Amino acid sequence: MPFLRDIFWQRLRRNRMAMAGAAIVAVMFLLALLAPLAGHDPGAIDIAHRLEGPGLQHWLGTDDLGRDVFARILYGARISLLVGFVAVGIATAIGIVIGAVAGYYGRWSDAVIMRFVDIMLCFPTFFLILAVIAFLEPSIWNIMIIIGLTGWMGVARLVRAEFLSLRERDFVLAARAIGASDARIIFRHILPSALSPVLVSATLGVAGAILTESALSFLGIGVQPPTPSWGNMLIVGKQTLGTAWWLSAFPGLAILLTVLGYNLLGEGIRDALDPRIRD
């Protein structure tokens, strides 16, 4: 395992695009952590300085209420990263359990579970989220839970496929021979060997969750003002697009860079874990 881990890190470090994605992700994390040091309260209203362009006092300008755009983007990064990681964590946990049960036991349990997965995949995920949120109060916690509960199907299929190929291996048969329980075989012996595609899926899933949260907030049913979110900042930017371009440009750029960073990193991890790709 240490040898394989060293090979993985070496291949990942040689991938320039993956390293660029990792650098973007690291910068976003750092900016989110340093948000309190922005020098401005993201919720402080200053009508006297409303719609000011980028300058020395307000690096990225101010919005229609005089709030500092730079500070709001930094605090919005916290919201986006929190939604991304919690939602993907929920989806990954559900997908691992369901996929492991389907792939390990097979037969009727596999058939029933995978038909349910197929039914869930028939519904457009975004519209399913919209339908659920319509019955709930828009809040960051509801959004994270709903995105997680509607995004586990891909992980379940990946884990199932890995379990189907691993459950008849010699190390699994040996574990059965010494009387290991099904739970121990699933979580101790098979699952660690099946996590490679899950890691890639989770990395790419963070980008998808951030995009979904931004879209919901842009539609007004996501994170609610005055809490800063890149999505609800774009609403203000749309209303003043002709006179205050920075209100749309900078939140949009933050979304673009963050999603791009996670996609590049996820693709790099996939290539580093793929034994068919030669150095």
**Which pLDDT belongs to residue 94?**
95
Average pLDDT over residues 64-85: 91
Sign of the CA dihedral with 246 first, then 251, 257, and 259 last: negative
Give 105 or 6, the one with higher predicted confidence.
105
Q: What is the 3-state secondary structure (H, E, C) of 149-196?
A: HCCCHHHHHHHHHHHHHHCCCHHHHHHHHCCCCHHHHHHHHHHHHHCH
Given a cut of 90, whether residue 20 has pLDDT beyond it is yes
CATH architecture of 2-273: Orthogonal Bundle (1.10)
Q: Do 99 and 156 form a contact (C-beta atoms < 8 A)?
A: yes
pLDDT at 179 over 60: yes
Ordered DSSP codes for 188-235? IIIGGGG-HHHHHHHHHHHHHHHHHHHHHHHTTSSSPTTS--HHHHHH
- Classify residue 76 as exposed, middle or buried by CB count within 10 Å of its CB (0-12, 13-18, 19+): buried
Contacting residues for 75 by C-beta, under 8 A, at least 6 apart: 35, 38, 42, 228
Kindly state the tokens that stand for 144: 């994270």
pLDDT at position 2 over 80: no
Q: Report pLDDT for 276.
A: 58
Helix axis angle, 246-273 to 230-239, nearest 10°: 140
Q: How far apart are CA 268 and CA 22, in angstroms?
A: 9
Span between the terminal Cα atoms of the chain, in Å: 19
- Res. 4: pLDDT tops 70: no
Q: Tell me the pLDDT band of 22, cut-offs 50, 70 and 90.
A: very high
pTM of the shown model: 0.88
pLDDT at 242: 78
pLDDT band at 275 (very low <50, low <70, confident <90, very high): low
Tell me if 242 sits within 8 A of 67, measured CB to CB. Answer: no
